Structure 1
Amino acid sequence: MELFTDSSGSAFGGCASNAYYIKQKLYCGCNFSSTVGTVSSHVSRGSTRTRKGPTVFSTSDLKFESNKLLTASISPNTSDTYETAVRSFDQFRSSHGHAIVWPPSLNGICNFIAYLSVRGYAPSTVKSYIFGIAIKCKMLNITDNTQNFIIKKMLIGMERLDKRADSRLPITPQILDKLISLLPSVCLSQYETLLFSGLFSLAYFGFFRIGELVVNKSLAHYHTLSLDDFRFLENNVSINLKFSKTDQLGKGSLIIIPSINSHNLNTRLIVTLRLSGQQKSVWLVGSSIIKHAFVHARRSVDGVNLGLERIKTTIWWQGKSGMRICEIIPKVKHLLTFEEPPQVLVFHCGGNDIGQKVSCVLGHDILKVIDCLRVLLPQSKFV
């Protein structure tokens, strides 16, 4: 086994040109020759189809593929946990006089567990840290001292001595109703109120995890629920769950939630989804700040629409360096020759007029622009 490291020697640090190298920098195999023998065209039973492309591959190609397969075998959240475990273990060894070598000594692991216990870590957290160390040992194909009898007994002892009680209480129908009734007081709009109302109700009655309903990681919006995943029947709601913690391969499962008379789940979800199902457009018009924001958005994971496609919202960026306040109205009129009026117009302009006009005159010009926009876009909201 070999281990890619960054310049500091961290097994999980550094960066590489390919996304597969971001987390686990491990690859399988040893004693690779510069090339590998011919791969048979009969790759599976019953198949006589010849594979297109080369049949001889370089060592670097096979290392890359091995690394990709290893990386894909571990979910991003689990990978983050392992990385935190190894980093914490190395920090402990550095500050307490233990050599940072692999495999780690039995004494070092015992002291690490004792250190985490003294600092008040929960037994479940300590177990996950030790498992992270074990995974790295397995990846390196070295002795795994975390499986030692003493280590296992120390972890059992932590569980027996842990007297803390879980202070979290389950959500009851009464608490759910109270949460939903308070939403208008904290949400910024009726749409946001309905959105959270549907989200809370769906999570409660469907026993969904938060990661199955909302975007919480880069690229995670491909796994979350969308409008097409819902079917409303007379007596139930059926939901196509594309991905879950227990379905890491994304095979999908059908969740059916029956109607409950005392809680109008169907109505909440239907109203929310109908609102989200309407195609919405947002125009961003302004000076160089809008222009540079567009460049940044285009390079980001969520893209130019900032990930809002999931609620059927598109963004049209119209930034121009040096734009003055007098150019807003002509610009909007020009845009209206190509597109229907937007639901929301965000305009950022006037900074280039500062110093060129007296403040009171500039303020008057801004008000005139807003009045003209109200005539041009009577149904639009302005930001």
Structure 2
Amino acid sequence: MTTLAATAPVTPALQSRLPQVGTTIFTVMSALAARHGAVNLGQGFPDFDCDPALPAAVATAMAQGHNQYPPMAGVPALRQALAAKMQALYGLTVNPDTEVTVTAGATQAILTAILAVVHPGDEVIVLEPCYDSYVPNIELAGGQVVRVPLTPGTFRPDFAAIAAAITPRTRALLVNSPHNPSGMCWTAAEMQQLDALLASTDVLLISDEVYEHMVFDGQRHESAARYPGLAARAFIVSSFGKTYHVTGWKVGTVVAPAALTAEFRKVHQFNVFTVNTPVQHALAAYMADPAPYLNLPAFYGAKRDRFRAGLGGTRFRMLPGEGTYFQCVGIEDLAVPERDLADGAFCEWLTTEVGVAAIPLSAFYGNGFDQRVIRFCFAKRDDTLDEALRRLARL
């Protein structure tokens, strides 16, 4: 007779799909900041609210009955508004029915693009330092990550290194401009050079442009959409969360040629299917006025200037801040004993002892390359920035 053993249930063992992945540095530093009452300039999100007209538009959409599944590719009015924006800003004509898809944030968009086109053994080039989702996305698709460093110090693309990394197995190249974490923005000349480099290849481009409206000092955002040769091979990714200060809404977009979009949607329909209906209707209505995103360079440019001016009295070494809402600084000249710590340990000390959280740049490299550089986020209220600057003044 068989009896049940009086033992605790055992969870079956498994082999991790991402054995090298742990808790992200952003979660770690935000938790550390909360425990120590630090001003959190680490994780990249605003501490101010969005335009009240946006949640009001969501409430209106709900009251109007927009509460069921929308079309898989996105609400038609929103896709039409996005197509009109691409034409007005970048001169790219896109079909909203076959070339524009609404996604559950830019992170989902990038993962879906990679899963749609990368097969096991395909190589995908990433330019380091890079956003932390890129490499795990490639690994989940069975692709081989090929890391090419941006030029240390300036973070400009090294085209000789990129060209050397391209092989017959290269399926895609991931680029990000304006660049997280450095704030570097690709120039027109660099985009033209990229266009020429890829012209004779079958390499696809995944262009992460979530900070497209945060480019300062009169510079123009050089979207892949501006260059026909690049647009013809690109998934162009953007984010309403970044643009409209609603990162928690997790709504992004992908613009791509019809053939690429068809493959993208095959994956999209099974990993998300579709995106929050009333929010899409609200965004479509809100996009009728381009002023909110056209005014972002002045809005965030002023915050950058305020933050940089405040750091001017410290020994932080300021790196260029051409775009995004991040500012990178060198820590090698600080007159504190902790200046000789690795950048990660320095950020922990800065959080616990000075009361300001930042992110070590080494976290954006696969090999943990430490340049003695850390990243601050200045997408904060002026009083938040001023308090952080008051605490940092001792350095």
The TM-score with structure 2 as length reference comes to 0.22
The structure that has the greater radius of gyration is 1
More helix by share: 1
Larger relative contact order (CA 8 Å, sep ≥ 6):
2
The TM-score with structure 1 as length reference comes to 0.22
